[in-house]
Amino acid sequence: MAAAAEAFLLARLPPCDADAGRAAALVAAIAGDAALLTVDALAEQAGLNKRALQRLFQQYVGVGPKWVIRRYRMHEAVAQLQAGAAPELAQLALGLGYYDQAHFIKEFTALVGKPPGEYRRAIA
């Protein structure tokens, strides 16, 4: 029965969606390139205009490209703090694409549950 069900479903498999693969590749590019900090840079790399990139992400990822970039950069901040390799917080924030330390601290606290300075002291 399992083989019959598998054959039935495989015969009705929808065609591959090239845009889904493109969205996955762009998310992988964000994850793999810590220097990719802005939606504009990602759009240029993808060869899309900013709005087309946002639509692609909304449809296939469920969130915008800015959210994905910020989330990966926050993970990078946590990794640097855990490794003890993070510079001063202002430099860390700037290196991750934040224009001010306050915005970085707010987003870090929302993700981790405590400010980065407190997090650094807790893991030391």
Query: 41 lies in a domain?
Result: yes
In a domain, 89, yes or no: yes
Q: Is residue 8 domain-resident?
A: no
Give me the number of domains the chain comprises. 1
Residue 12's alpha-carbon distances to 5, 16, 17, 18, 20, in angstroms, are 11, 12, 15, 18, 19
Confidence at 21, pLDDT banded by 50, 70, 90? very high
User: By the 8 A CB rule, do 98 and 106 touch?
Assistant: no
SS3 31: helix
Any domain includes 74: yes
Residue 2 located in a structural domain: no
**111 is a domain residue:** yes
pLDDT band at 113 (very low <50, low <70, confident <90, very high): very high
**91 in a domain, yes or no?**
yes
With H, G, I as helix, E, B as strand and everything else as coil, classify residue 36.
coil
pLDDT at 88: 87
Average pLDDT over residues 74-78: 93
Which CATH number goes with the domain that contains 91? 1.10.10.60
The helix/strand/coil state of 82 is helix
Q: Please, are residues 90 and 56 in contact by the beta-carbon 8 Å criterion? A: no
Residue type, 95: G
Domain that holds residue 111: 17-123
Tell me whether residue 11 is in a domain: no
